[in-house]
Amino acid sequence: MRTTLYSVLLVLVAFVSATAQGVTRVDITEGESRAGMQPVTTPYATGGPWAAVPARALTPDLTPTVSDFRIRTWLEGDGARVLVFAVTRKSGSLIGSDDEREIQIASVALSNGQSLQITATEKFNARPITLTALRIYTAEAMRRRINER
């Protein structure tokens, strides 16, 4: 009985320890649109990686003045720093082309499990977006932690 109890406790401790060290992921959502990315380790404000969702009209009678909203994110403490950009591009130009312009509209720190609505999108006639910081746990990482015990 003690051996069984000890084994159960060991597995539980390994699981809790593994989940405390999961990889952070940041999602950007608006309605049914969702994109996400794993934060990088060093701060950056231009280039990739990034994730984006299309701008959607705030009300049916308005047209968004930007094409999409983009995030860049990096690890900061136990969570992530997220920069949010409104993106404009000339009609017919490709994503990432020289005809694209970004305007930073927010910089927020997110703790794991935290969600935050960004309403600065409304000044572009677009619906608010939501940022969420998550932990992702791989089965392999959990197996390794259990085997280490």
pLDDT of amino acid 12: 35
Cα 106 from Cα 116, distance rounded (Å): 11
Expressed as residue numbers, the domain containing 117 is: 23-136
13 within some domain: no
Give the chain's mean pLDDT.
82
44 within some domain: yes
pLDDT of amino acid 38: 94
Highest mean pLDDT among 12-16, 47-51, 126-130, 141-145: 126-130
78 within some domain: yes
What tens digit of pLDDT does each residue of 23-69 get?
Answer: 589 999 999 999 999 999 999 989 899 999 999 999 999 999 999 99
- Number of domains, the chain: 1
Classify each residue of 99-123 as buried b or exposed e, where b means 16 or more C-beta atoms within 10 Å of its C-beta.
ebebeebbebebeeeeebebebbee
| 18 pLDDT higher than 50 | no
99 within some domain: yes
72 within some domain: yes
- Mean pLDDT to the nearest integer, 96-122: 91
Record the pTM. Answer: 0.75
Torsion of CA 146, 135, 34, 100, to 10 degrees: -120
